[in-house]
Structure 1
Amino acid sequence: MTQKQPVVTYRQLTAADYAAVIELGNIVHGDNYLTEENLPDYVERGLKDGVNLSWLAFVDGELAGIRLTFAPGQWDIDDYCTPEQWPVPADKMCYFKCSAVSEISRGLGIGRGLLERSIETAKALGCKAGLAHIWMQSPNNSAYSYFTRCGGEMVQQHPDRWYELSVHGGYHCPVCDGICHCTAGEMVLNFDN
């Protein structure tokens, strides 16, 4: 008996998807990483000039992956950013906020498919590159491996990137079992490579 190939489809995120996106994001990244309070802000940051940079993937009709991406000029350059080392100015760069793929759907190319769609829509806004803070302690260091395979290059590593969120925002890191001391790899993906 042959096994049926899963059908993967993609579409842009809408408000109707919030509950499912929060659930999947928190399963992958830890409790309260995405909330009813922060997700609407994140979605709004991904909308600019009628372009939506945030995408979802579905396997056989079930949510299997999310990619939240912020438009240029709609994300904060904070102490965990090193703009003097970026290959393009900030107004030509989107920010890859969050990616999550359900465990059961890994290996189907969903992460790359979501990233490619966000890149194509970001290019419509004039973006030349994207920045991400990669979770260096992700299980099996899969986040770094994935982003590197997609062309991302390390700029700098930042210890305790999500510490404040875990102390003051209710985020529960699944690796640190509470207060987060994980390192973020500040990585840039140049779209012209």
Structure 2
Amino acid sequence: MTIHYEFLQPEHFARFVELANRVHGDNYIDLATLETYAQRSVKNHINASIVALDEERMVGFRLTFAAGQWPFDKWCSVDKWPVAADDMCYFKVIAVDPEYQGSGVGGELLKRSIEQAKQQGAKAGLAHVWEESPGNNAVGYFRACGGELVARHPGRWLVNVIEDGYVCPICESGCDCVAAEMVIPFAAD
């Protein structure tokens, strides 16, 4: 297995959408949405979104919005963040192919994304982490990477079920999954 990492580019989009929907559930993301999201990743000509490839096979990705380039919503506890809102990047989503989970791909994607976000000027990164991931591994992983819990948000993804036709891989109807709002403060270089 020889994994190489690249910045997210349009030639990756179809493979990104396929992997995201396979890992996170049907209708998680479509090409039009990804095109918009990818634009939020670039600031000062620096791209904070990274893909992991094994030859041409996409085995993972980390989609990160640059600080100041993503909308806050009711699931964002801005008053509890350790940095100003304009200094917070957003770790929108990660996916690692199940065959590659546990191989270090996720950690490497996060590390590289943080490096890019810091170059863009971010001082911390926020994620809404899926508590219902198998064994709650997502929260444990994010905590091991320095993530600190800010708030818990039950039903965070229900709006995606209703408005986008998202099919949660855990819930039989709707989605009652909890999003753990977590922040990773970045160490100054």
Runs of 4+, deviation exceeding 4 Å: none
Paired position in structure 2 for 1:151: 146
Give RMSD over aligned pairs: 1.1
Alignment of 1:31-180 (within 5 A): 31-180=26-175
What TM-score comes out, normalization by structure 1 length? 0.94
How far does residue 177 in structure 1 lie from its aligned partner after superposition?
3.0
Query: 1:171, 1:178 within 8 Å by CA — same for their partners in 2?
Result: no
Distance 1:123 1:130 in 2: 9
Q: Gaps spanning 5+ residues in structure 1: where?
A: 1-5
Specify the SS of the correspondent of 1:171: coil
CA distance in 2, matches of 1:45, 1:192: 23
List gaps (5 residues or longer) in structure 2.
Answer: none
For residues 86 and 114 of structure 1, the distance between their equivalents in structure 2, rounded to whole angstroms, comes to: 23
Q: Percent identity?
A: 47
| Aligned pairs, number | 188
Task: Please state how far the C-alpha of 1:60 moved relative to its aligned partner.
Answer: 4.0
Distance across 2 between alignment mates of 1:151 and 1:113: 14
The one-letter code matched in structure 2 to 1:12 is F
Q: For the Cα contact (< 8 Å) 1:67–1:98, is it kept in 2?
A: yes
Q: In structure 2, how many angstroms separate the alpha carbons of the residues matched to 1:156 and 1:85?
A: 9
Q: How far apart, CA to CA, are the structure 1 residues paired with 2:19 and 2:163?
A: 22
Q: Which residue of structure 2 lines up, in the alignment, with residue 182 of structure 1? A: 177
Task: State the AA in 2 paired with 1:45.
Answer: R
Out of 173-182 and 103-112, give the one that drifted further. 173-182
Does structure 1 residue 22 correspond to structure 2 residue 17? yes
Residue 3 (structure 1) aligns with: none
